Amino acid sequence: MSKLAHIDSLIAPCSVAVIGASDDVTRIGGRPIAAMLRAGYVGRILPVNPGRETVQGLPCYASVDDLPETPDAALIAVPAKLVPETIAALGRKGCRAATLFSAGFAEVGAEGEAAQRVLVDLARANGIRLLGPNTLGVYNVDIGYYGTFSSSLDTGFPKPGNIGIASQSGAFGAHLGALARDRGLGCSVLITTGNEADITVADAIRWMAESDTTDVICTYMEAINDAPALLAALDVARAAGKPVLALKSGRSAVGARAAASHTASLTGDAVVADAVLSDHGAIILRDPETMMDIAYAASKRVFPAQHSLGIVTVSGGAGIVASDEAERVGLPMPAMPAAAQAALKAVLPYASPVNPLDCTAQALNDPSLLEQFTRAGLEDGGYGAILCFLTYVAGSRAMADVILEAMAPLRRAFPDRIIAFCALGEDEVLRRYDEAGILVFSDPCRAVRALDAVLRLGAARGQGTIPLPTVTPVTLPAATPDEAASKSLLAHAGIAAAPECAVQSVEAAIAAAEDFGYPVVMKILSPDILHKSDIGAVKLNIHDAHGVRNAYAAILAAAAEHAPRAVVNGVLVARQLSGGVECLMGISRDPTFGPVAVFGLGGIFVELLNDVALRACPFGPATAREMILSIRGAAILQGARGQPPADIDALAQMLSRLSVFAAGADARLVSIDLNPVLAMPVGQRAYALDAVIELDPREAMADAD
């Protein structure tokens, strides 16, 4: 059975059996029937309840076996103990898709989790795709199908449109649907996945990505239960040009515990999830309000190639507020060309035509000024979007006709750009602008954030996808290696270290130091001592043989005192390099996404400042360079304060090679820590001065078994 087999039947069934159907429209088995009857569902509703002959005016059947036809889908609203026999009966009938409202499975503990596994096995044996258990269900506005018991429908049905919602949480997914409805947005499809015993949010996103009617996908996730499927779904959505707006909960310790108890799933590291999902095109959000703002803007399907904003305003203060927000989010606001500024000055001498373009309150007396300033921003400024701050002026019934007459032709003349108003007024008045293709926001900062997201999407569309490097299997040692062995292993992957030598005697240490040339660095060589400097087992700035003798004795003494049970393989002597920028790069195996690479500046403040970039492995040098330059401290690598620029190309090559190495390693690889990596000046390469590779002995034992 294909991965998405029978998903269509869950979302757009021509007939649906309701197992546990109820005449009471407030009960779980009654709500879906009542909603479908009110909405005019185009398919057939087949209630099943052994105690009734009719349900809500429809013929009712005593059992699944008594149904007069094979339903496309089934809604199961019976106690948990009756679910297995219901699944078996649906299998006998030939039904291939079921939505399981019933709770009492993995979300309640180990016993429920075991029952859920049995349920999944039973469904698969019968060829049934299962949504849930513990799900609120789905709705499909376009056909009036409401396979859900959500009480959000009591306050109104959702509006048809090109937005879809995929949510692990039923109640929160329905909340998003209600927000969209109350905002006036068209959201035709909601899919809530509950415990995700079978169908996941990834499947829901994939269905929407391949749908002809969904253009914008909103998703809420509490856990990621099938990472490869999710990333593949995001890739399909990106290839189809469909934005995926993602809210991922469980970011805090309290939130993570709540997510685990609610969905019986562990929540992965939030920072890693953000980085990986963003790499695959998702827009990571923190709140539903921003999600709805961006969904609204994206639903118009205008994605300008230019990531730049022009602001036309009747208020200098509002222009400053919006400009400050644009700078905060990184949305460029280039100044108008000098000739265009002069032309606007000629029209209105006391205007400020730089950007923001302040046409002052005079535009209230002469709305043609609004058209002229906006046209100039589009034609001469070349901005991807123009945000016009008109406040309550645009909301005036008396002004609406005049403003539309001036601005609607611009919307038609520049179909590949965005024109947005920041306006207040009656919904009926503001709706006229929206119908003319002009976006309407009530708050300038929210408008800027939404426009930035859509403009970034447009700019990214022309970039294409970057091919991934070839990965070959890596043979890891049987146990965690010491530093010398780690560097030797990484050297085969093209990751350079400073010249060094492992020695087992002080005489050999002196010989190595003199061969390298002073000064040298000396440190303990042990797979059991990962943080050598913490115990005084690293000595720097050694300038002669006497210093080597003293350092050798001190290092061994420190190891004996602080780690008496550690295996000591000797002492490492290395040439001491200087003159570069200290960086760190490493690998961490995320339980959800596998190996993830991290890059940042070295030193003691890296964790405190949290100035790092992350990517899932593997990736090429171009992506590595993008990572390196994305950190806030990148200016230090580019030659700040008169210092020579670092060899960023060499750093990028090393980071890329590290990612390929990690991708080729098996599950025993826990982490790699290269700290510091010394980025020398341009043309002088980069060197890993320390290397720690940590392996999981439990994985080794599992392989042996």
Does position 379 have pLDDT exceeding 70, yes or no? yes
220/328 same-domain check: no
404/432 same-domain check: yes
Residue 694 φ/ψ, nearest 5 degrees: -105, 130
Residue 246: HSE in the Cβ half-sphere, 13 Å Cα cutoff: 30
Does position 251 have pLDDT exceeding 70, yes or no? no
Tell me the CATH number at 247. 3.40.50.261
C-alpha 458, offset from chain centre: 17
Task: Give CA–CA dist 73/14, Å, rounded.
Answer: 8
Question: Which segment of 126-130, 268-272, 545-549 scores lowest on mean pLDDT?
Answer: 268-272
451/406 same-domain check: yes
8: helix, strand or coil: helix
Helix (H) or strand (E) holding 497: none
Beta-bridge partner residues of 48: 19, 61
More confident residue, 254 or 537: 537
Does position 255 have pLDDT exceeding 80, yes or no? no
% pLDDT > 70, the chain: 94
Q: Nearest Cα to 228, choosing from 587, 472, 592?
A: 592
Tell me the CATH number at 128. 3.40.50.720
The pTM of this model reads: 0.89
Helix (H) or strand (E) holding 313: strand 309-313
106/173 same-domain check: no
DSSP one-letter string for 211-257: -SS--EEEEEES--S-HHHHHHHHHHHHHTT--EEEEE---SHHHHH
Helix (H) or strand (E) holding 473: none
228/94 same-domain check: no
Tokens of 416: 């590949």
Q: Nearest Cα to 95, choosing from 131, 133, 138, 59?
A: 131
Q: What does the pLDDT read at residue 108?
A: 87
Q: Confirm whether 139 is domain-assigned.
A: no
Does position 630 have pLDDT exceeding 60, yes or no? yes
516/585 same-domain check: no
Q: What does the pLDDT read at residue 261?
A: 35
Q: Confirm whether 409 is domain-assigned.
A: yes
The sign one gets for the Cα dihedral 586, 589, 595, 598 is negative
Q: Confirm whether 485 is domain-assigned.
A: no
Beta-bridge partner residues of 521: 574
Q: What is the pLDDT of residues 631-676, one digit of tens each?
A: 989 999 998 777 899 999 999 999 999 999 999 999 999 999 998 9
Number of domains the chain is built from: 5
Mean pLDDT over residues 122-148, rounded?
96
Q: What does the pLDDT read at residue 680?
A: 95
Q: What does the pLDDT read at residue 700?
A: 52
Q: What does the pLDDT read at residue 263?
A: 30
Does position 628 have pLDDT exceeding 50, yes or no? yes
Q: What does the pLDDT read at residue 17?
A: 98
Confidence of residue 104 (pLDDT cuts 50, 70, 90): confident
DSSP one-letter string for 129-182: EEE-SS--EEEEGGGTEEEE--GGGGG-PPEEEEEEEEESSHHHHHHHHHHHHH
Q: What does the pLDDT read at residue 464?
A: 67
E-assigned strand segments in 478-578: 500-503, 520-525, 538-542, 570-575
Q: What is the pLDDT of residues 51-60, one digit of tens each?
A: 999 999 999 9
415: helix, strand or coil: coil
222/322 same-domain check: no
User: Which residues contact residue 156 at a Cβ distance below 8 angstroms, ignoring those fewer than 6 apart?
Assistant: 181
Mean pLDDT over residues 132-152, rounded?
97
Range of the domain at 512: 504-571
14/125 same-domain check: yes
**Cis before 676 (ω within 30):** yes
Q: Confirm whether 151 is domain-assigned.
A: no
Task: Give CA–CA dist 100/83, Å, rounded.
Answer: 8
Task: Give CA–CA dist 182/196, Å, rounded.
Answer: 29
| Contact assessment for residue 476 and residue 499, using Cβ atoms and an 8 Å cutoff | no
Q: What is the mean pLDDT of the chain?
A: 92
Tell me the CATH number at 669. 3.30.470.20
Q: What does the pLDDT read at residue 611?
A: 85
% pLDDT > 90, the chain: 83
- Amino acid residing at 406: A
Q: Which of 571, 593, 614 is a domain's end point? A: 571
Task: Give CA–CA dist 628/644, Å, rounded.
Answer: 17
Q: What does the pLDDT read at residue 109?
A: 87
Q: Which of 299, 325, 350 is a domain's end point? A: 299
Q: What does the pLDDT read at residue 232?
A: 95
Q: What does the pLDDT read at residue 259?
A: 45
104/21 same-domain check: yes
Task: Give CA–CA dist 688/675, Å, rounded.
Answer: 7
Residue 196: HSE in the Cβ half-sphere, 13 Å Cα cutoff: 24
Q: What is the pLDDT of residues 260-312, one digit of tens each?
A: 433 333 334 688 899 999 999 999 999 999 999 999 999 999 999 999 999 99
| Contact assessment for residue 658 and residue 494, using Cβ atoms and an 8 Å cutoff | no
Q: Confirm whether 332 is domain-assigned.
A: yes
Q: Which of 268, 299, 330 is a domain's end point? A: 299
Residue with tokens 């939505």: 99
Print burial letters for 130-156: b (CB count within 10 Å at least 16), e (below 16). bbbbbbbbbbbbebbbbbbbbebbeee
Q: Confirm whether 479 is domain-assigned.
A: no
Q: What does the pLDDT read at residue 264?
A: 31
82/200 same-domain check: no
Mean pLDDT over residues 497-524, rounded?
95
Confidence of residue 443 (pLDDT cuts 50, 70, 90): very high
Q: Confirm whether 481 is domain-assigned.
A: no
Does position 586 have pLDDT exceeding 70, yes or no? yes
228/319 same-domain check: no
Question: Which segment of 201-215, 409-423, 633-647 scores lowest on mean pLDDT?
Answer: 633-647
Mean pLDDT over residues 475-504, rounded?
94
Q: Confirm whether 233 is domain-assigned.
A: yes
DSSP one-letter string for 507-531: HHHHHHHHHH-SSEEEEEE-TT-S-
Does position 122 have pLDDT exceeding 70, yes or no? yes
Q: Nearest Cα to 11, choosing from 62, 67, 77, 72?
A: 72
Tokens of 390: 């008109």
Q: What is the pLDDT of residues 562-574, one digit of tens each?
A: 999 999 999 999 9
8/77 same-domain check: yes
The 3-state secondary structure of 318-364, one letter per residue: HHHHHHHHHHHHCCCCCCCCHHHHHHHHHHCCCCECCCCEECCCHHH
Does position 258 have pLDDT exceeding 60, yes or no? no
Does position 201 have pLDDT exceeding 50, yes or no? yes
